[in-house]
Amino acid sequence: MDAILETCAGLDVHQETVVACVLKGPLDKKPKQEVKTFGTTTAELLQLQDWLSECGCIEVAMESTGIYWKPIWNILESTCRLTLANPAKIKNMPGKKTDVKDAVWIAQLHRCGLIEGSFVPEEQIRDLRDLTRYRRKMVQNCTQEKNRIHKILQDANIKLTTFVSDVFGVSGRALLESIVGGEVLEAGDVRKMVKTRLKNKVPQLIEALNGRLRLHHRKMIKRHLDHLCYMEKEIQELELEIDTSIQPYHQEIELLDTIPGINQDAAASILAEIGPDMSKFPTDAHLASWVGVCPANNESAGKKRSKKNRRGNKGLKSVLCQAGWATVKSKNTRISAVYNRLLKQCGPQKANMAIAHLLIRIIYVMLRDKVPYKELGERYLGSKEKSVDFWVRKIREMGYQVELTEAPA
C-alpha cells in the first residue's frame, strides 16, 4: 500500500479510554510509531488534543463506536481534520484484536487513504437533527398513547370509535373527559359536547357510551390522557424551537417545500439529516445509497438474487416514504406517474421505496443548484414520440415492416 500522509493518527474509541497511535515519517520509508492511552473526561481529551499538536498531527481517523466518538469529535474538530470510519469497513484480520493493534491498524489505513469518512454535519445541523428526531419520537409516543386508550375503551365495551372518526378531536376529548369524571350523560349533555354532524348521532352515541366501565378503566384513561396532553405540549415547544433553528436555512426550507407531499416539518427533518451542503456527497447516487433507498445488488456468476436495501438512515428513510405516500396522491404529476407505472410491476411497498429514491435524488439537485422543484407533468417519461417508437419496435419484432406517414391536419 502506498502512503499518502506523512503524519496521521488513528484512535480506538471506548467508553472510558481512547488509544491513540501516531504514525510519522517520509512516505517512502517505514513511519515512526507512537502509541498513548487517554481517558475520556474533558481534561484528558484536552491532553490528547495537546499531544496531537505536539506531534504535528492534524489528520486523525477514529471509528464510530456507539455514541462514544461524539465527545472526542467535539473537542478535536477545531484543531484536526477528522475522519469518522464505519467499524464494519475497517476490521482487522482475525486473531489480532487488541486496543493497541486496532489503533495502529486504523492509523495505517488512514496513512494510505483507505478509510472512507462517514458524513458528519456541522454543529448547527447536528443540534437541529436532535430536535427533529426527538419530535418524531414524541409523535410516535402520542400515537402509542392513543392506541392504549382505544384498547381500554374496547375492554370497557365503550364503542365510541364506531361513531366518532377522531376520538381525540374536540368532541371526542369532551366525551373522554366526561367518561373519566364518571358523569352520567343524558342526551342533552351529549348534544352540548359534540360538534357539527355528530349532533345527528346523539342516540347512537348514548348507546355507544353504555358499556361496562369500571373505576380501573377511568383511572387508566386519565393517566393516558394526562400523558398525551403533556407530550402534545412538548411537541408544540419543540416545533417553536425547530422554527427558530431553521431560520438560517430558510432558503433551503422554501426550496424543499415546493416538492409535492413535503411540508415544512418534513423539510426541516430532511435538512437536519443531510444538511444544506451537497458537496459532502459526490453524486445523487451516493446520497441515495447513504440514505438506504437505492436498489441493492446481489449478482454472482451471472445470476441475480433478491437482496434487501441497506439499513441506511432510518429516520430520513421513513420521512421520505411518508412524503412519497403523500406525493403519489397528487394527480397529473411526474412522481405519481412513476408510482402508477411501478405499482403494476412490484406492488405498493416497493413502488413507494422507488418514489423515496426519486425524491432524494430530486432533493440533491435542488439543494446543489439552489433551484425550486419544477413539475414536468405525467407525460415526462412517456411522451408521444417515445410511445410511437415503442409500438413500432413491437410491430417489427412480430415480423412486419412499418412505414410512418404524417396524418393530414
Q: Find the mean pLDDT for residues 130-140.
A: 96
Retrieve residue 214's grid coordinates.
Answer: 369500571
**Helix or strand (DSSP H, E) at 180:** helix 170-180
Q: Find the mean pLDDT for residues 15-40.
A: 94
Q: What is the pLDDT at residue 225?
A: 95
Helix (H, G, I), strand (E, B) or coil at 13: strand
**Which tens digit of pLDDT belongs to each residue from 184-235?**
778 888 888 888 888 888 888 888 888 888 999 999 999 999 999 999 999 9
**Which tens digit of pLDDT belongs to each residue from 329-349?**
887 888 988 898 899 888 999
Helix (H, G, I), strand (E, B) or coil at 101: helix
Q: Are 238 and 138 in contact (CB under 8 A)?
A: yes
**Which tens digit of pLDDT belongs to each residue from 390-403?**
788 888 888 898 88
Query: pLDDT grade, residue 381 (50/70/90)?
Result: low
Could you give the count of Cα atoms lying within 13 Å of 86 in the half-sphere of its Cβ? Answer: 8
Q: Is the pLDDT of residue 94 over 50?
A: yes
Task: Report the distance separating Cα 246 and Cα 131, nearest Å.
Answer: 11
Longest dimension (CA), the chain: 92
Strand duo 59-63 + 7-13: pairing = parallel
Report the percent of the chain where pLDDT is more than 90. 62
**Which tens digit of pLDDT belongs to each residue from 350-370?**
999 999 999 999 999 999 999
307 vs 320, higher pLDDT: 320
Burial class (CB in 10 A: 0-12, 13-18, 19+), 370: exposed
Q: What is the pLDDT at residue 297?
A: 77
Q: Is the pLDDT of residue 120 over 70?
A: yes
Q: Please state, rounded to an integer, the average pLDDT across all residues of the chain.
A: 90
Q: Are 121 and 275 in contact (CB under 8 A)?
A: yes
**Which tens digit of pLDDT belongs to each residue from 271-317?**
999 999 999 999 999 999 999 998 877 778 777 777 777 778 899 99
Domain definitions of the chain by residue range = 7-111, 124-245, 249-369
Start-end of H helices in 258-383: 264-274, 284-291, 314-327, 334-369
Query: pLDDT grade, residue 387 (50/70/90)?
Result: low
pTM of the model: 0.84
**Which tens digit of pLDDT belongs to each residue from 156-176?**
999 988 888 889 999 989 999
Architecture of the structural domain at 124-245: Orthogonal Bundle (1.10)
Q: Find the mean pLDDT for residues 119-147.
A: 95
**Helix or strand (DSSP H, E) at 82:** strand 81-85
Retrieve residue 254's grid coordinates.
Answer: 422554501
Q: Is the pLDDT of residue 384 over 60?
A: no
Q: What is the pLDDT at residue 377?
A: 78
Q: What is the pLDDT at residue 291?
A: 93
Q: What is the pLDDT at residue 299?
A: 78
Could you tell me which CATH number the domain at 7-111 has?
3.30.420.10
Q: Are 33 and 3 in contact (CB under 8 A)?
A: no
Cβ neighbours, 10 Å, residue 115: 23
